[in-house]
Each structure stands twice: as structure tokens, then as C-alpha cells.
Chain A
């Protein structure tokens, strides 16, 4: 487990990227190399046309730059090309095909690397989240974590697959173009770059300034969804109070806000696009007319002007995007930092003692000795709780909500670490045992149990992977849910949740119980596990559980005291302290919270009994 201890604490974003790129650095490098070749060839192509125009068509050899002359002599010289004018055309097309090949390699390699990195990052986040302590999850917001793990990863992926490539492309275009252009004509080069830097700066600052407007639009959209969702979930209430008109007015607020914010953003962006378009066209115009002036002065050839115009065509459009891309890259740094935050959280600590064999089972003796547990937001506190539960016996925990009942179970499952007192499982200190091994000793059913969105059968098999159909049915029968499941059209293959059947609270509880039965762990924890099941069924289930061959150690939390009558001992909690302790019979006869609850619950039934003389 040592490799789980991560060393990512507060890593710089660029180092984190470098680390995440491990194994893909070579691929990514080749992608950039392909980009380089693509760019080189792309510049060569207009030069072929330029040379052909100047030397063959205009035949004005005096002023032609050495570069174009060189290219033409490579093609076989002036007269040869004049005789075979198809040759430059074929060369141009072949060059484009070659460039296309590199463009393909660039796209494919960059995607392989960035998608691979994104996939590995997602796997790692998933694994990491599963191993973070409960304490972390109590504080973290689920929605926020999901957002980070999906859209932040996507932002990062886009940065690597597109934005970094685009930026490299622009840089390569500029650096390669510069010497070629200077070799052709240095004055024209100066004129060509007149507006390039202003265009980039304008884009960068403008998009940076309106960035928060994008967020505003997203928020407004989220608000629309929320109001629709709330209206539809509360549909019956809306109708019951005849508030349709009120709801329509309520909806119009976010709906209009969404529209108006989108329109405002649009207005801002329309200035951005039209101004940058204007600047780009202006730049091309400058080159055209300055070139024309030089031609009339006799210091420039038509072919070279043509080459400059083609260069600008390939150069300016990526440059125009630069401002926007740079801001997007800024976003991905933020995303990276947010991901780094998650990855740098420490996972659940591991014990120092050697690992236990997976199959080993405890007898099930549990001892709490003066266990106190501090104030945490989500967890009720415990103060000096002590009890001894011999193997095979049943302990019932009773008390008002917030008295610490569930905290006892959470400590047993090692979801939280106790600091004061001692908890022993079969005589061994719980904190010295491996968490996963400890958890495998417990079967737990919670009040609002969680079922995976799989089939019912697969949900049960979560507890025991190799379970055969007979096992599933037996467990389901014991939890009194087999008949219900068999009644569904697809029986055990019925999907749970949005895409399948919606199970009632009681049905969910019983499926979860069947899962725990199938798990066959030495200790069973029932946290108000049958609260939504009617009393008769509950008794039947509890009787069935008691009738199993090996009696397991059981801890039950319940509100209905009548279901606790078979417990070997009861503890009554109030404000984290044990206020009463004894057998159910003892506690019924003693003044105290237990008896008070018992009286309230039974008074109605006593009346019922009185009215029912049989």
C-alpha cells in the first residue's frame, strides 16, 4: 500500500503536466515534429508558384531573389519548366499531399497522447477518490468534484490536443516565415508584421476581459435548469395550490436572464470578431499596396508579392486566434490546479501491522472502551462510550437523532479514526488492522441504502462476485424481497434507478439487506435498516435472520422498539453518552428515555388491544 502514499503535495502546474505526460512524451514530441515538417512544406508550396510566375511567365530574371531562382533550378531550369508547365503544378500538389501526411500524423499523434493522458488522469482520479478518507468527502461537494473530474480533465485534454498545438503552430509559422520572408525581401517583411503583434495583444486582453461573461451565461443556464427541475419535481404541489401562473412568472426571470446575458456576451464578441477581422484584412491590404508601390518602383517582382500574400494568408488566421487560445490556455492552468488539489489530498492511512489474509474471518467480539470522538460537522460526537458485545450476540442502540448511534457504526467500519479510548475486534486494536480487511468483516444495511445503477442481480453480486442464482434467490427470500423481484418482467435482470424500475424505500432496504446476507460477513450492522418496511415483514425478516445456522454478531439501530425485543443488550444514547444499558426487559421496567419511548409507541397499540378483546 506504500505506493498509495502520494507525493503530489502542492506541485507546480507545469511539473504536474510533465508528470502526467509520462509515457506519452515521445508521442507528443513526434506530433510537434510533424507539425514542423507540415509548416516547412506549407511555405515551400507558394514559392513554387512564385518562382514559376516570376521566371517563367514574366521572365524578369534580374530582380528575382536568389531563393526563388534556386527553387526553379531545382525544377530543371527556366526553359525546361516553360516546356513542361505541368511540372510545377504536379510539384505543388505533391507537396500538399506530403504536407497533408504530416498534418495527419500531427493530428493523430497529438490525439493519441492527449486522449491517453486524459484517460489515465480520469482513472487515477477515480481510484484516488475511492481511497480518500470519509472526512474529506464530508466536506467536499459532490457536484464540484464531478465537475473537476469531467470538465476540468476535458479542458486539459483540449489544451494538450488543440491549444498547445495551435500555439506551437503559430510560433513555428512565424519563426520559419521570418527568415524565408527576409530572404525574399526585408522591407516587405517589416510591412507584413506591422499589425501582427497588436492583433495578438488585442485578442488576449479583450477575451481576458470578457471571460467572466462566459461564466455568467453558464450560471444563468444552470439557473434555468434548476427552476425547471424544481417545478417538475413539485408538479403536484404546484397544481394542488393552483400556482401555475406564479410558476410561469418565476420561470420567466431566469429564462430572460439567460437570454439577456447571452445577448450581452454576443455583443461583446461581435466587436472582438469584427475588429480582429478588420485588422487582418488591413494587414493584407497594406502588403498589397506597399508591394504594388515597390513593383511600380521596380524594386519588387509580382511573384514575390504573390508569395507574401500567400504567406500572410496562412499566417494571419492562426495569429488572429492566438488571443483567444492564450486565454483558453489560462483556463486550463486553473483546471490543472484544481485537479492537483484533489490529487494532493492524502488517501486513507494504512496500518503498520502486516496484511491479513483476505479469507480470514473474525469471531465477532466487539469491545468499546471509553471511546470519545470529537466534534465534526457531519458526525455526532461520542463521549466515553463503553460496551462489550460477545461474539454471536445482538446489541441494540436506541436514541434520538443526532445522539451518535451511526457514529458508532462509522467508527467500527473505520470510516473515521478514533483518537481517544480503544475499540477492539476479537481482542485486537481496530486502528492497527487494515481498513479493507476490517470492512470485509462487516455486512451493513443503511436506512437509505445505496444501490448501483446495475441490474438487481448485479447489485446483489456486488457482495459476492461468484454467487450463483440459487444463492441470490436464497438471500432475497430471507430478506423477503424475492417475490417482488420475481414479479418484475425481467426478474433479477431488472435495472435499478432512472433507467429501470424505481424501487420504494422499503424495497431498496430489503435489496440492500439481501446483499448484506449474501456477503455473509461475520458481523451484521443494521442502521435503521428496515424503517420503511411494515412491522409484520420486519418481524418475519428478523426471525429469519435469527434462524440462520451460525448466529452472527449483530448491531441494530431502530426506532421501533418492538422489533428490538430479542436483543441481548440495549444501549440508550443521548448526546453521545450512554444513558441506559441493559436487556430490553430491564429497561422497560426502569424509569428513563427507553421507557418513555416505549410508552408512547405502545399506548396506541394498547388502545388497539383494548378495542380488540380477542
Chain B
């Protein structure tokens, strides 16, 4: 079984250079980072001082001082209180601000990078994986950096200040109380790690349970028709008792942890009372100091707990950090070369006639040629070897053949979504890597198997083809592909919301809208991966008419399944194992009685036999 392994990583060692890199990002927000550190230090100092004011007051009154002379203590206390409250306000705002700004900015960078990366990057990375990089990972990292630094600074300062105070007040007793710190550190880091691991385990079960509920609901008809309700419940109970087990384990761990820490605190308090009491009896210690010691003894737990927690969380989030940084560090492989960028810069600035493209080359695409093209995927699987093909403007090329033969690779190469690993693809005789990428791709119109729409209205979806198109142009495009009729019949016509992924429309309707979108962008090259899945006969006819409008006068590549599409192509290529087995028009190929003939008599032969 394949699990998502990266979620389970708990790094035993902290990668300091990685955290250094992440922390360097935090340094670029000095307006938030400085008040954060300063307020953490101030708060730690103030918290350490409260017990001193108490000691001061107690000593003053036991020494018989009058209440009216206590105003310095009174003022100090009030000052400390106000200082602490405003410190808390500042640190929440600066730490939270830092976390949110950082996570916003990292997320933005990641999103931008994803827009630039070539398709090969997405081939082996599932959608859910990428989404969690941009959501939970970004949040997790920023939170640890912001709140983690705050907790660290605060905790370290508090422990240091309190230790100094204790040793200054009474070196011997101070060291005795400080003796509980090492065991506190050991216990805290041990349990924090346990707690992190078990709470992770709980979350894992929880997401499995969520998935299981989703599956139960989505597959309900299937479950009911297979009468699998009891067995499914049994499977589910396996998960829910697993979750019960780990959740209880987590609760038990913290139920053990807290008493141990409290006991350590009370040992320190007990030692203060015993040894301090002896000191008071001997007259070497004031009562106020004794009380201050007992208070301080209980003050260590919080900061040490925090330090342990931050360190453990960093270990737990290290994998997330690596993933985000590696995404940001991945350079897009398909980009404009230096020369092309120079040409773009040179030509972009000046006026140019319509026949000149932004990169200085011809703006009209007259020919597209594959010359000795080799292509293999990142995993080494070779798809094309020495592939040759020349297509002229206005030609419609249909690619047919068994799946896995390389048809999609050919159109992906023609779109420059991938680049050849050997050989060249030439636009008007010039290698397309010497032309501007954005210019070339903006001249493509692509309609994919399973047409994708974005949430928004029908009009917005068509306009996606050309953002500056007017409403009339949009409607004309829709009319030309036969989509206008059904769009007007929708509830709100062109303003109808299509739903997420367009799922409020039927497949045929989505297909027609994607045609309109492609037509509106008026591409020089049109590419289509035809869907086989069920469209009823009448819709298929409508789609065919729409297609013919688009094909007119355009260089088109179609991965074709429907006979109706194949027949209208100027040239049909039978592709198998990355080779062109046959090429010609429908009639020519049938007359040849070769592969195409076999392919199609096989597919339609039965119906033909039935007719005769």
C-alpha cells in the first residue's frame, strides 16, 4: 500500500542550515521581528520581577514599615502590570503579523512558481500533494518561525533572568532550586516528542475516517446494491477503534506528563521551604526571600515546556520546510533563453508592424515541423525516436492509434508543454526554442478530453480565451460553435454560474463552451484531445459542427476517436509506438487496406456487417 510517506517524517536531527534559510525570510520583516523580540525580552523580565516586588513588600511590612511608605512597591507593581499587558498586546500582534505576512508571501511565491513550472513537474505530483504545500505547509512554517521565535526568546530570557535572581539572592539555595531544571528539560523533551507523534497518529486516523465517510456517501448506491452495509461498517469500526486507541494514548501521555512536572516543581518549592526555613531560623534569610523562592520554584515549568515544544515542533515541521523550499528552489526548465529574452527586451520597447512578433520573428505561423524528434519522460520511458512530421498552416491533422502510442506526447510537444530530448521542432524553419515561449503559446488553442471550466459564469469562461473581448464577440464565438442556443436556454443565459469545474453543465455543454473559448482566442494552431466518453447522438452532431468552424483555415491537431472527426481531417496519421505507420486522407488510407483499414473495419465492422 502506498501511503503519503512525507507526512510521517519526523526528523531526528534539526537541519540548521534549512532553518537558517527559513529564518532569513523572517529577517526581511524587521518591523515585525524587532518588536517581537523586544516584547518577548521585556515580558520575560517583567514576569521575573513580580516575585521580587512581592519579596520587597513582604520584607518591608515584616520589618515594621508603615503602609503609607509602601508607595514605591505599589508604583512598581502597577508599572509592571501595565508593562506586561502592553507587552502581551505587542507580541501577539507582531508574532501573529509576522506569521500571517510570511505565510501570505511564501504562498504567493509558491503559486507563481507553479505557474512557471513545466508540465513534467506535475506528472509525478498528485494534486492533493501540491495543494497541501500551498496551504498547510506554508501556515505551519510561518507559525513555527513567528510563534516559535517568540516562545524561544521569552523562555530563554525568563529562565536566565530567574536563574540570575535566584543565585544573587542566595547562591546556595539558588543552586539547589536550579537543580530541578535538568530533569525538567529531560522530561519535557521526552514527553513533547511522544505527544507530537501520537497527535500526528491521531490526525492520520482522522483523515482516514473523513475519507471513509466520503467514500460511504459517494459510493452509497454501490454499497446498497451490493448489500455491503454490514461489512463496510466493520471496516469503519476498524478505523474508529484505531483512532480511539491513539487518541487515548495521547491523553494518557499528557495525563502522566503534567503530574511529573508538577512534582518536580514542588520538590523545588519543598527544598526552598526546608533549606530557606533553616536560613530564616538562623537569621541569614528574610521571609520575603523565602516566599520569592517558593514562587520562583514554580516558574520554571512553563518556559522549559515551551522550549521543548518548539524544538519538537521544528523537528516535526522540518519535512514541510524542505518541501516548500524545494518547490521555491525548482527552476522552470522550459523558459525563454538568454538570447530570446534579449530579443524580447529589444523589440518589446518599440513599435512593430503586425507581421512581427514580440520576439522579432514572423508573427504568422506558416509551418510546424518535427525534425528527428526524440522524446523520453523523466523516468526514462522513451516515447518518440527520430519522429518527423511537417504541417502547413490550414491543415487538419488527425492522430489515431492505440493509447500509449505517443499521440498525446506529439501534441504536448507541438504545444511546447514539453521540449524534445533530441532533434528539433521548427516554426517557419526556426527552432521553437529560439522563439518567445509566451508568444508561441498565446497562439495555441487547446481543447482537452474532459473539458475544464473555471467556476464563474458562462461568459467569464468564454472570455478566458481573450480577456479583452467584448460581449458581442463572446456571443458570436458561441454562436459559431453552436453553443449560443443552449446557453440562452440556461437559467441566467450567459450569466449562469457553471459551478466548480463546470459541474452544473453536461459534458457536451462544457465541450461546446470550451470550443467557444478556443475560437474566441483565434489561435493559429488548434489542438484537441477528443473525448470518447458518452455523449448522446444529438450532442455529438452539434459538437461536430462546432469543430468544423474551428478547423477552418487553421493548423489543427486532433487526437481523434469519432469517425465523424477523423473523416474531415486533411491528413490522418496512424501512430503506433512513436512511429507514423500510415498517413493520408480517409479514402486513401482505406484504399490502402493497411493498418487504418484494419483499425476501422475492426471498430465498425460489426455494424457494417449488420447492414448488409
Contacts and interface: CB of A to CB of B under 8 A. Distances in A.
A116 B443 CA distance: 61
Given A107-B254, A285-B81, A449-B222, A535 B216 contact: no
Contact of A278 (B81, B112, B115, B597): B81
A100 B260 contact: yes
Given A104-B259, A296-B61, A447-B534, A605 B611 contact: yes
Contacts of A103: 255, 258-259, 262
Interface string A80-117: 00100110111011011101110110111011100110
B225 A226 contact: no
A600 B127 CA distance: 40
A281 B115 CA distance: 52
Interface in A53-77: 53, 56-58
A247 B116 CA distance: 11
Given A53-B287, A609-B611, A92 B266 contact: yes
Contacts of A14: none
Contact of B455 (A93, A230, A442): A230
B262 A89 contact: no
Contacts of B445: 240-241
27 contacts: A53-B287, A53-B291, A88-B274, A93-B266, A96-B262, A100-B263, A103-B259, A119-B244, A123-B233, A123-B237, A126-B232, A127-B233, A129-B216, A145-B217, A226-B500, A229-B127, A238-B115, A248-B112, A255-B107, A259-B100, A266-B100, A274-B92, A440-B227, A446-B221, A531-B534, A534-B532, A608-B563
Contacts of A515: 226
Contacts of A256: 104
Contacts of A266: 92-93, 96-97, 100
Given A228-B135, A401-B506, A247 B115 contact: yes
A306 B291 contact: yes
B65 to A, nearest CB: 7
Contacts of B271: 89
B211 interface: yes
A322 interface: no
Interface stretch (A15-23, A389-397, A494-502): A494-502
B343 interface: no
A104 B60 CA distance: 41
B152 interface: no
Contacts of A100: 258-260, 262-263
Contacts of B164: none
Given A88-B273, A273-B88, A536-B603, A232 B290 contact: no
Main secondary structure of the interface of A (DSSP, over half): helix
B228 A85 contact: no
A251 B105 CA distance: 12
Interface in B504-531: 506, 514, 517, 521, 527
A30 interface: no
Interface string B332-358: 000000000000000000000000000
Interface stretch (B6-14, B536-544, B573-581): B536-544
B387 interface: no
A233 to B, nearest CB: 6
Given A161-B251, A452-B215, A237 B77 contact: no
Interface string A252-265: 10011011001100
Minimum-distance CB pairs A-B, first 10? A100-B259, A107-B255, A531-B534, A111-B251, A89-B270, A240-B446, A96-B266, A278-B85, A270-B92, A266-B96
B122 A58 contact: no
Contacts of B186: none
A299 B237 CA distance: 65
A604 interface: yes
B280 A57 contact: yes
A562 interface: yes
Given A96-B262, A289-B70, A240 B2 contact: no
B274 to A, nearest CB: 4
A142 B58 contact: no
A93 B225 contact: no
Interface in A327-347: none
A66 B504 CA distance: 79
A605 B116 CA distance: 45
B255 A452 contact: no
B81 A93 contact: no
B57 A289 contact: yes
B550 interface: no
Interface in A114-136: 115-116, 118-119, 122-123, 126-127, 129-131, 134
A224 B251 contact: no
Given A273-B92, A302-B62, A462-B226, A539 B606 contact: yes
A179 interface: no
A232 B217 contact: no
A608 B127 contact: no
Contact of B236 (A82, A126, A146, A296): A126
Nearest to B437: A242
Contacts of A86: 274
B244 A115 contact: yes
A289 B74 contact: yes
A267 B243 CA distance: 36
A605 B260 CA distance: 83
Contact of A233 (B213, B280, B452, B567): B452
A259 B101 contact: yes
Which residue, B57, B273, B610, has most C-beta atoms of chain A within 10 A? B273
A500 B126 CA distance: 11
Contacts of B57: 288-289, 292
Nearest to A45: B266
Given A115-B247, A532-B533, A104 B256 contact: yes
B218 interface: yes
A58 B287 contact: yes
Contacts of B77: 285, 288-289
Interface string A203-240: 00000000000000000010011101111111111111
A138 B122 CA distance: 35
Interface in B566-611: 567, 586-587, 590, 593, 597, 600-608, 610-611
Contacts of A224: 107, 134-135
Nearest to A540: B606
A259 B266 contact: no
A309 interface: yes
Given A240-B446, A534-B603, 19 more contacts: A57-B287, A57-B290, A85-B278, A92-B273, A129-B220, A130-B232, A134-B221, A146-B214, A225-B131, A228-B111, A228-B135, A240-B415, A277-B85, A292-B73, A450-B218, A495-B1, A499-B3, A605-B604, A608-B604
A586 interface: no
A99 B259 CA distance: 8
Interface in B20-68: 50, 53-54, 57-58, 60-62, 64-67
A110 B254 CA distance: 12
A352 interface: no
A53 B108 contact: no
